[in-house]
Amino acid sequence: MEKRRVKKILKVTALIYLASFLIINWTDVSWIFNYKEVSGLVSDFFNPYPSIDASTIDASYFSFNQNGEEAPKSARVVETSYTDKQNTLEISKISISVPIVFATSADKVSLTKDLDSGVVYYPGSVSPGQAGQIVILGHSAPPGWPKTKHDWVFTDLDKLIPGDKILIDLNNKQYTYIVKQKTIIARGADVPKGNFSANSSVLTLISCWPPGKDYQRITVQAELENS
């Protein structure tokens, strides 16, 4: 009789603990009770998480020259701050500080692997301080998605607005970019060049849209401060 009572008390205690845990951590665990997200997680286990197709980025995107010639990529002196961080992308507006992976290939399989380790500095991008384009790719995921690998880094990219700051930490220098515009484009469509001058140093962030789906792309374009 006493053993049954102890077992009953333990069961009630366990249920109370579980209920309290779910209530306190509901934001982080709610995805478990969403059939679509769970089925999506199972599907992603057998199929790579939707990646950003390299065809999204047109070869001419890295040039502003209207005559089809390669734009100048000369380095110039820009104001930077000292930082201890290396190869890091920071956006305080959406609370991210993630590693930058310098991709060596635009192959989709290679990019997908690189995206597991952070955001990807797309091959062919210029260096901060040079005239031209820097393209950085990152994953996005549905709200409440578990923070495995780096599937979630650009989930809140749509919250950025003109004037927000994006920081790139490289070689103990911190470069500040100011958001200028945000666009939604079709999957596989060319990224818009934007209204930037030929000497502008532009940073473009790209992710899947809506978060976790492979239907469209969201792009956020920012210009190097004091460039």
Q: How confident is the model at residue 66 (pLDDT cuts 50, 70, 90)?
A: very low
Provide CB contacts within 8 A for 134, sequence distance 6+. Answer: 121, 122, 125, 126, 127, 128, 168, 201, 202, 203, 204
Residue spans of the domains in the chain: they are: 2-33, 50-224
Query: How many residues does the structure list for the chain?
Result: 227
pLDDT band at 31 (very low <50, low <70, confident <90, very high): very low
pLDDT of 67 > 50? The answer is no
Cis amide prior to 210 (ω within 30 degrees): yes
Please say whether the structural domain 50-224 has been given the CATH code 2.40.260.10. yes
Contact by Cβ (8 Å): 121, 111: no
Task: Using the Cα atoms of residue 59, residue 65, residue 69 and residue 74 in order, give the sign of their dihedral.
Answer: negative
| pLDDT at residue 80 greater than cutoff 50 | yes
User: What number is the average pLDDT over the span 194-209?
Assistant: 88
Quick one: pLDDT at residue 78?
Answer: 75
Q: Is residue 47 predicted with pLDDT exceeding 60?
A: no
Q: What is the model's pLDDT at position 117? A: 92
Per-residue confidence (pLDDT) for residue 162, from 0 to 100: 96
Instruction: Give tens-digit pLDDT for 151-201.
Output: 889 999 999 999 999 999 998 999 999 999 999 988 877 777 777 887 889
